[in-house]
Amino acid sequence: MNEHDHSGPGEQAQRAAEYERWLSAASLSARGIRWWMGPLGQWFANAPLYRLKANLKLDQTVRLLDIGVGRGTVMRMLDDTLECDRAPVGLDASRAILRQAAADEDNPQRGAGLVQGSATALPFANDTFNLVLCGHLVKHLDDDDVRALFIEVRRVLEPGGLALVWEFGPTGYRPLDAWNARTLATGVRRPRLRSTKTLRRLAEESGFTFTRDADLRPFLLPPIPRASILIGKRPDEG
C-alpha cells in the first residue's frame, strides 16, 4: 500500500459510515472487533499503554482526550490508574460503539464524557487537554485528513501537552503489507499502513515542533508492526 496515496474529499465520511455499519452488525467480524476493543482484547493489543503512567510520568492532573475511543477500555484504565482530578473525554465517530462504551461503564457517577464527532473537527475549545491519545484511527484517513487531525490535536492541547498516536504499520515487505492490509480491511475499505517516519512528517507539516518515535512494541493481536509517535506543544508555544 502506498503511504502517500490520496483519495478525494468525502472519503472520511464514507469510511465513518462503513465503520458505523460494521460495528452495528451481528457478523462474526463485527463481534470480533467489539471483543478486541474490550478489556481482554486491548490487553493483548495495547499492553504497552498500561505503562504510560510511569513512562510519561503522569499524575492525577491529566486532562485526557481519547480520539477514536472505541469501547473506552484504555481511557478507563488510565483514569482508574491515575485517579484523574477531571473525568476523561472520549470521542468516536460511531454512535454504536459509544453506546457500548457507555454500557461498559461501571461507575456512572464518575463516567467519562463520551462524544460523537469528527476527529478532524474536534468539538472542544483551544488548550483544553494536556494529554491526547489517538489509536487505530489514522489508517482510515488520507494524508490531508491526517494533517487536519494533527492540526486539531495541536489546537486542543495546552502548551506543554503531549499526544500519543499509534497505528498498525508497514513491515517494508510489500506482499506481507498487502496481506496485513487485507486482514485489517474486514468490514471497511482497505486501510493505509503508514510508518512512524511518515506519521512524524505529517505531524511536523501540521505545526508540531516536538515529535519523536514513541517506540511502542509490535501488536500481539493481530501480530502486525506498530507505528507510534509522541508529539507535543512546547511550554512556550501558544
For residue 232, the cross-strand partners are 162, 210
> Over the stretch 118-171, which tens digit does the pLDDT of each residue have?
999 999 999 999 999 999 999 989 999 999 999 999 999 999 999 999 999 999
For the chain, the structural domain boundaries read 11-232
Type of residue found at 185? A
- Right CATH for 11-232 from 3.10.20.600, 1.10.10.10, 3.40.50.150, 3.90.1010.10: 3.40.50.150
Nearest alpha carbon to residue 170 among 203, 218, 213: 218
pTM of the model: 0.84
> Over the stretch 82-130, which tens digit does the pLDDT of each residue have?
999 999 999 999 898 898 889 888 766 565 699 999 999 999 999 999 9
